[in-house]
Structure 1
């Protein structure tokens, strides 16, 4: 392959990678569940019943060098995820509820009986609208240092953030 062909291919790949996605600058971080206080920023779109989202939650739980801005984007394939997200966003200690849900502690509970508030429902709906506007249709999806990572790919995350 010629060098010119390879450069054209790289440019096309970059255009495809960047099309249809929002940048972190266009996302209202005030609507996110904020976890942590570290200097590195991670924007995360997650589903409480997604097994890969749960692996990411466990990984990030021990990192003290990041601040996570979590947006719930429950997928249709997970019928209980919306209720779980609303439950988290309805609670007083949202971070604790997030960890309980993402660790599976709530899985055996009847999601119809989870206490939710009108504010929690509204917050979840706003977060999902933000995900839709940003073109996010899979979970987990991360925005880290201007890059978008779809799926929990620890090596790519650590390439950007460094190892814990």
Structure 2
């Protein structure tokens, strides 16, 4: 918290900027730094400072777009982390709209906590995430099989032809054991690819928590537990 407050204080001391609007900030950014891809630029509670999304992170810039700051913005009167709110807002999907019937379901313990993941059987980071997920208990994992690699398409489809698709997926992702079935059958692969596109999931693995918060990458089990705790999930 001290580090966060120090950053907020530093921003306040350095903020001698005149007021502007989002349009002028966006214009200055495009003119002076066209190579930077900043999205969702908006005014913050701190005068002269604007927030933006860059590579899935929240950053802050001033009206002339000459400086970018990364860190947490804390509202001092109630110690509320405004950056956390922005991060959730910018990386959130509607959990209730996820077609969970197209996902492979795995339940451990009570299964009370829920996450959905997008995974490719030939993605090394997906394999790493699978190992981390095994360390968690009282969780339900919905896996949307997402074969982004060409060599992943056929085995991903064949998983759904097995008597126990969830076990077939486990064998494929963890042991590189190909499905025994060579026949074709109904599968959700094309729908999963369309879903990923609609959610801006351009790589694997991706994790979506039951409150809709989305993150990318092979998060360690301890970090996943921390997110559950922070959101009260």
TM-score by length of 1: 0.78
How far apart are 1:93 and its partner, in Å?
Answer: 0.6
| Equivalence map 1:24-39=2 (5 Å) | 24-36=95-107, 38-39=111-112
How far apart are 1:89 and its partner, in Å?
Answer: 1.8
Distance 2:198 2:190 in 1: 12
Which residue number in structure 1 is paired with residue 64 of structure 2?
none
Q: Does the alignment pair 1:124 with 2:189?
A: yes
CA RMSD of aligned residues (A): 2.9
Which residue number in structure 2 is paired with residue 90 of structure 1?
161
Instruction: Identify which of 46, 49, 58 aligns with 2:119.
Output: 46
Which residue number in structure 2 is paired with residue 9 of structure 1?
51
Instruction: Give the length in aligned residue pairs.
Output: 153
Question: Which 4+ runs in 1 deviate beyond 2 A?
Answer: 5-17, 61-64
Which residue number in structure 2 is paired with residue 139 of structure 1?
204
Runs of at least 5 residues in structure 1 that lack an aligned partner in the other structure: none
Cα contact 1:71–1:128 (8 A) shared by 2: no
Distance 2:207 2:194 in 1: 16
Cα contact 1:71–1:127 (8 A) shared by 2: yes
Distance 1:15 1:61 in 2: 27
Structure with higher strand content: 2
Change (3 A) 1:9 1:27: same
Q: Per the alignment, in what secondary structure is the counterpart of residue 90 of structure 1? A: coil
Which residue number in structure 1 is paired with residue 144 of structure 2?
71
Change (3 A) 1:147 1:135: same
Q: Per the alignment, in what secondary structure is the counterpart of residue 87 of structure 1? A: helix
Cα contact 1:29–1:69 (8 A) shared by 2: yes
* Higher RCO (C-alpha under 8 Å, 6+ residues apart): 1
Distance 1:17 1:116 in 2: 43
Whichever of the two has the greater Rg, that structure is 2
